[in-house]
Structure 1
Amino acid sequence: MPGLNSTVQRFDRSTGIPKDVWTVLHADPARANIILPHAEKVFERQKFIPGITATEQVWLVNSKLGTSEIKFILSCTTGPQDKYPIFIVPTDSIADLTPALLQSSIEALCNTLLNEPNFRTRVFSVFSVEPVAEAFARTWKILTGIDREVVPYYHALFMMCTKDTLVRQHRAAPPSEDVVLEPRSAVEQDAEQIAVLCHEFAATSPPFTLSIEKAREEASLLIANKQVWVLEVQKPNAEPNIATIVAVTRKAGGVAAITKVYTPEQWRGRRCAERLVRHVSTELLEKYKQVVLYVGIDNNASKVYDRVGFRGLNDGSDGVERWLEIGFDQAEVELGHW
């Protein structure tokens, strides 16, 4: 019977996360980046302003029956603004995620989630490597009757940049001779412009849109935690403007993740994003071993990351991972935000 070949342990704020689970997360901090940094913030292993106060923080750890061999780590957590999707990190390579392993482990995880109060409507989406996300969506439909949304919320390739792959040469020419482009860390005076760009960025990522008030809240958090950079545009006799923002909100285990890159329409086609992503990546790689990001499989921005030195796209390597976010029927669930 499915589920009998695996066991699930549950952890929350009151129990803490045991050492062996932290060890597994730190063993592959790039793949675990969707779970590890937030867990460190919850347990104050890294500083975050104003701190994670939400009580709904649950982690499920799936192990092979009769062993301590961890196969999957699932998080159902809440960030500074809203609830996150279900994140699932497998410890095996995609090639080793056999149908039998997926069926047993994912069913055990889903059944454990359903023991949580009100979690039938709490699970609004799942994000993981393709086969895991697909297995979760199938199992969740069987157990709850809640179907998936027809179109995935996000289908992405996982990309990585290191000191060895970083292309330091700046190829992007200025938009014109009378315009100065200056990459820098954001400051409080940038808050309103960044809020507008966060609002516009969210509008491109339904259903996770933001009101302008929520966008202002996000901008303030990004600036307070030194998580956002801007490319400032200065024209003669004009007020400076922001042409691009880059946010880096998940850092842990020697890995930093670029989680937002946005250029407003008037500055697109001028390689502003390339200039700022290169600047940010160069800074981060002075402290971190890897910079990672997800890029939509049909997103032209992939060319920007490729020119900067991110690998995993169009290189033919077996290590390219496809990640999938599957949403569940919005009439049946309560949306969060990430």
Structure 2
Amino acid sequence: MSTHFTIVHRSATDFLDAAYPALHAREREANTILPYALKARSDEGNGARVVGDASVRAWWAKYSPSRSSVQTPPRFWITCWSKTSQGPVLDFALSCTEGPLGTYPLFFFSTRDDRDITTPYLSPRLSQLACQLKDCAPPQRAFSIFGPEQVIREFVAHWSALTGFIPMPNEYYAAHLSFCTRETLTPPAKPLPSGHIMRLAQDRDAQRAAILCGEFASDSPFPLDSIRSLAHARDMIRKQQLWVYECYVPTGEREIATIVAVTRNTEESATITKVYTSPSWRGNGCAERLVRHVTDHLLHMGGKTSVALYVAYPEENMAANVVYHRVGFVGLCGNSHPRVSRWLEVGFAGTDNGHW
């Protein structure tokens, strides 16, 4: 007798009705799924997102004309549940969604930390999830998968065996999910230099911010051209999700040295999703000051209990680890923390890249 089962949720409302308590209990770990689901539910409530049969068929036909009658929409969620004497308990959630720049990677959420997961627990559940996903979406849609490291490694093995799609030889991203609270946030060591300003980005900043957004994405698997970079910057500015560190140079002109984006927010948690300093301003402490300023604002003015961010492993980016550690993000620079987990993104060859 099976000890678990999966459910496909074809609307954000249905998904959140089922999974919200478990997601809310671990908002930091749900930062790649919960904020998007909340936004999607709002769209559904406003009538802004209605996927008709024709749209679904067109989406499927792009990849597999013979299967264009399948009625799973381009945006859906899959949950996996354990059967217990007290009722179903959520184990995993997987999202297949999209944003302003295109389709997102497949995102995983787990209700357990990696250290509490065993292969006998993982393997049958992720095998069933992989089969369910294959029935819901063309395999080409899974251009990358991101989530807790142990879960992703196990799922990638099942997915590759099931579909024949081979993971890219180099992992796209390996990072710690760190966080900062009011208790761990550190005060600035020095006052802000004269002529330096930290503030929310405004419409007039869009062109310069777009350049930095493009530079940030240039060495990732998901580069942005100038048109999409500008659209991305304008979207974040409109939503008040982008902060800038502005400096005045001797000529009297102003320059944006650093940007910080905070694009995934829930009731209690915010996630910094982009930190980038122009090469000409590096080594001046701009990123540390702006990250601390934004984190302080979110914790005290924004009412968040924690601010999260993903930090590439030290061997990949020691400078970023040092900056965030100085601000007060925990579990970095050799300091372990029980709630700081390892996350992994794996891409697949022969798929259609989206963006996030």
TM-score with structure 2 length normalisation?
A: 0.87
Q: Distance in 2 between matches of 1:142 and 1:131?
A: 17
Match of 2:208 in 1: 193
Find the aligned partners of 2:174 and 2:191 in 1 and give their Cα distance: 28
CA displacement 1:207-250 (0-9 Å, x = unmatched): 11001100011001000000000000112432111000000000
Which of 81, 91, 95 is residue 63 of structure 1 equivalent to? Answer: 81
The aligned counterpart of 1:166 is 185
The corresponding residue for 2:60 is none
Q: Work out whether residues 6 and 108 of structure 1, in 8 Å CA contact, stay in contact via their aligned partners in 2.
A: no
Give 2:25's match in structure 1, choosing from 24, 27, 32.
27
1:154 aligns with 2:169: no
Shift of residue 45, structure 1, vs aligned partner: 8.1
Secondary structure of residue in 2 paired with 1:17: helix
What residue is the counterpart of 2:69 in the other structure? none
Q: How does 1:310-329 map to 2 (within 5 A)?
A: 310-313=329-332, 314-329=334-349
Deviation at 1:171, TM superposition (A): 3.8
Following superposition, the deviation at residue 56 of structure 1 comes to: 2.3
Partners of 1:326 and 1:146 in 2: how far apart?
Answer: 12
Q: In structure 2, list runs of 5 or more residues that go unmatched.
A: 52-72
**Of 125, 141, 151, which aligns to 1:105?**
125
Q: Match for 2:7: what amino acid? A: Q
User: Structure 2 CA distance, aligned partners of 1:252 and 1:288?
Assistant: 9
Summarize the alignment of residues 100-139 of structure 1 with structure 2, pairs less than 5 Å apart. 100-117=120-137, 119-139=138-158
The answer for the alignment partner of 2:247 in structure 1 is 233
Kindly indicate whether the alpha-carbon contact (under 8 Å) linking 2:179 and 2:340 is maintained by their aligned counterparts in 1: no
Instruction: Decide whether the 8 Å contact of 1:57 with 1:78 is kept in 2.
Output: yes
Q: How far, CA to CA, are the matches of 1:180 and 1:121 in structure 2?
A: 50
Cα deviation for residue 334 of structure 1 reads 0.6
Q: Return the TM-score normalized by structure 1.
A: 0.91
1:210 to 224, 241, 246: 224
Structure 1 letter corresponding to 2:340? V
Q: Secondary structure at the match of 2:30?
A: helix
CA offset digits 1:311-334 (Å, max 9, x no partner):
0212123333110001111xx211
In structure 2, the CA distance between the partners of 1:18 and 1:259, relative to structure 1 (3 Å rule), is closer
Q: Which stretch shifts more, 38-47 or 94-103?
A: 38-47
1:285 counterpart SS class = helix
- Tell me, yes or no, if the aligned pair for 1:172 and 1:270 is still in contact at 8 Å: no
Residue 33 of structure 1 aligns to a residue whose secondary structure is: coil
Matches for 1:244-283 after TM superposition, within 5 Å: 244-283=258-297
Count residues in correspondence: 326
Q: Which has the higher helix share?
A: 2
Distance 2:328 2:219 in 1: 25
Q: Tell me the distance in 2 between the aligned counterparts of 1:52 and 1:182.
A: 39
